[in-house]
């Protein structure tokens, strides 16, 4: 198993980028995260995570089009790289193995 060190927040951001596909940029990612996790996410945290991920090689970015709403400034669009997708599937594999290994009735039941 490859050793990938990915923080929890970073993993979530990476997943969201994958979810958004072509329109993954700062504001969109933050909105999606807020919708999905239900908690307030700060734009600066998302930006920080995005750039850390890019430095690690999990994301690649390009500058997109500018809009008037942004005061004529372009947006940076992110896509998941091969390395990033491998990291994600590795994490998923680990999780799934662990889930499979739990014998039934171990986890306390919680209401549906």
| Residues between 4 and 63 that touch other proteins (CB under 8 A) | 25-27, 42-45, 47-48, 51-52, 63
Q: Which of 32, 52, 54 lies closest to 41 in space, CA to CA?
A: 32
Per CB under 8 A, does 69 bind other proteins?
Answer: yes
> Closest CB to other proteins among 48 and 90?
48
Q: How far apart are CA 109 and CA 101, in angstroms?
A: 17
Per CB under 8 A, does 66 bind other proteins?
Answer: yes
- 103 conformational bin, left if phi > 0, alpha if psi -120 to 50, beta if neither: beta
Tell me the window of 15-23, 73-81, 88-96, 98-106 that interacts with other proteins (CB under 8 A): 73-81
């Amino acid at each position: 198993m490859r050793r990938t060190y990915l923080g929890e927040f970073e993993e979530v951001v990476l997943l969201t980028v994958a979810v958004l596909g072509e329109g993954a940029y700062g504001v969109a990612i933050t909105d999606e995260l807020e919708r999905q996790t239900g908690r307030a996410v700060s734009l600066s945290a998302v930006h920080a995570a995005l750039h850390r991920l890019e430095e690690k090689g999990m994301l690649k970015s390009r500058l997109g089009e500018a809009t008037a709403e942004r005061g004529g400034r372009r947006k940076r669009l992110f896509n998941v790289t091969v390395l990033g997708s491998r990291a994600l599937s590795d994490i998923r594999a680990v999780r799934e193995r662990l889930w499979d290994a739990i014998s039934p009735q171990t986890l306390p039941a919680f209401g549906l």
